[in-house]
Amino acid sequence: MSRIGKKPVSIPKEVQVSVSSRTIVVKGPKGELQFNLPEGISYEMKDGTMTFARSSEEKHVRALHGLTRALLASMIDGVTKGFTKTLDIEGVGYKAEMRGKNLYLVLGYSHPILFIPPPGITLSVASPTQFSVSGIDKQLVGEVAAKLRSLRPPEPYKGKGIRYQGEYIVRKAGKSGGKGK
pLDDT at 125: 96
**Chain CA centroid to CA 137, Å:** 7
Count of Cβ atoms closer than 10 Å to residue 113 Cβ:
14
**Chain CA centroid to CA 4, Å:** 20
pLDDT (mean) for 10-31: 92
> In the chain, what's the furthest Cα-to-Cα distance?
79
Task: With cut-offs at 50, 70 and 90, classify the pLDDT of residue 46.
Answer: confident
Distance CA 163, CA 145 (A): 10
pLDDT at 180: 58
Task: With cut-offs at 50, 70 and 90, classify the pLDDT of residue 181.
Answer: low
Q: For the whole model, what pTM was predicted?
A: 0.87
DSSP letter at 170? P
Sign of the torsion angle spanned by Cα atoms 100, 146, 142, 37: positive
* Per-position DSSP letters for 107-160, written without gaps between them: -SSSS-EEEPPPTTEEEEEEETTEEEEEES-HHHHHHHHHHHHTTSPPPTTT--
Residue 37 pLDDT > 70? yes
**Chain CA centroid to CA 40, Å:** 27
The domains located in the chain, with CATH, are 9-80 (3.90.930.12), 83-164 (3.90.930.12)
Phi, psi of 34 (to 5 degrees): -150, 155
pLDDT (mean) for 88-96: 94
pLDDT at 174: 84
The answer to whether 140 and 108 have CB atoms below 8 angstroms apart is no
pLDDT (mean) for 119-130: 95
135 strand-pairing partners: 83, 121
What separation in angstroms does the CA of 112 have from each of 86, 90, 151? Answer: 21, 16, 11
Residue 1 pLDDT > 60? no
